[in-house]
Amino acid sequence: MDIPHANGRTVPTGEGGLSGPHPRKFGHEALAVVFQIRGDQLCVLLWRRALPPWEGAWALPGGRLGGEEDLGASIRRQLAQKVDVRDLAHLEQLETRSDPERDPRHRTLATAYLGLVPADVDPIVPEDTGWHPTADLPAMAFDHASIARSGRRRLRAKLGYTNVGFALAPPEFTMSQLSGYYSSALGHDVAATNLRRVLLRRGQIEETGRSVPSGRSGGRPAALFRFRDRSLQVTDEFAVLRPPNAP
């Protein structure tokens, strides 16, 4: 006997844990953990649910897969249609959640993606959507708070051994600005001089030859830098950016 699938297909009972006298409906959704440095905080994009369950709670953007689309296409479509976010500098698959009880309505697998928006972009989002500091998440629906924290752990880890900082920063930046982005994402201070030394040694950044004019207080103009590659590269697979005085 076959049972209807949420995407319009059928799944035979007895396969994938769906056997039994009363098989539950089964579906698959894509969710996005979208981060941006706003001010001096790492923020995540959330939208407020209008329908039960969890009516009024905040949730990660996303939804069910279309019948003819893959996961990557689904999450890009839903970010564009539901929260009007198209300016992702980086998108990667994060994890899949399969707890049978994560959605009280029916059995739903959730595949989450990590997306990053550069600090110089200000997406215009709908009224029911907003950016929330990851250090102070609101009440969230389903297991979405846990997924958001997983995304933050992934980002922090990758800042240590890849060039993913390119997706947090504008095309050109001073080292003071870049150290601020890293500090916000990592949750601890990152000295600009140390960051400059590390990223130059790893070949992640380079000087543009331009500088920012001095302010009213004078001083030496700040040099402008850029990432050498604005696609993800592993630059030191054994590295990690630890807090000061960490073991």
Task: Kindly report, residue by residue over 184-214, the tens digit of the pLDDT.
Answer: 999 999 999 999 999 999 999 999 999 988 7
Ranges of beta strands (E only) in 68-158 are 90-97, 107-116, 129-133
Which tens digit of pLDDT belongs to each residue from 33-84?
999 999 999 999 999 999 999 999 999 999 998 888 899 999 999 898 878 8
pLDDT of residue 10: 41
Q: Provide the residue ranges of all domains of the chain, joining segments of one domain with +.
A: 2-11+26-159, 163-227
pLDDT-derived band at 25, boundaries 50, 70, 90: confident
**Predicted local confidence at residue 13, as pLDDT:** 41
Query: At the topology level of CATH, where does 163-227 sit?
Result: Arc Repressor Mutant, subunit A (1.10.10)
- Residue keyed to tokens 């001010």: 39
Q: Do domains 2-11+26-159 and 163-227 have the same CATH topology?
A: no
Residues 6+ apart with CB under 8 A from 12: 1, 2, 3, 18
Question: For the domain 2-11+26-159, what is the CATH superfamily, name and number?
Answer: Nucleoside Triphosphate Pyrophosphohydrolase (3.90.79.10)
- Please tell me the distance from the alpha carbon of residue 225 to that of residue 211, in angstroms, as a whole number: 9
Mean pLDDT of the chain: 88
Quote the pLDDT of residue 49.
Answer: 95
Which residues, in sequence order, are CB contacts of 247 under 8 Å at separation 6+?
none
Give the integer Cα–Cα distance in Å for 184 and 181. Answer: 5
pLDDT value at position 28?
Answer: 92
Give the integer Cα–Cα distance in Å for 130 and 20.
Answer: 42
pLDDT confidence of 246, banded at 50, 70, 90? Answer: low
Type of residue at 4: P
244 compared with 98, residue with greater pLDDT: 98
For residues 152 and 140, give the distance between their C-alpha atoms in angstroms, rounded to a whole number. Answer: 16
Percent of the chain at pLDDT > 70 equals: 86
For the segment 110-150, what is each residue's pLDDT rounded down to a tens digit?
999 999 999 999 988 899 999 999 999 999 999 999 999 99
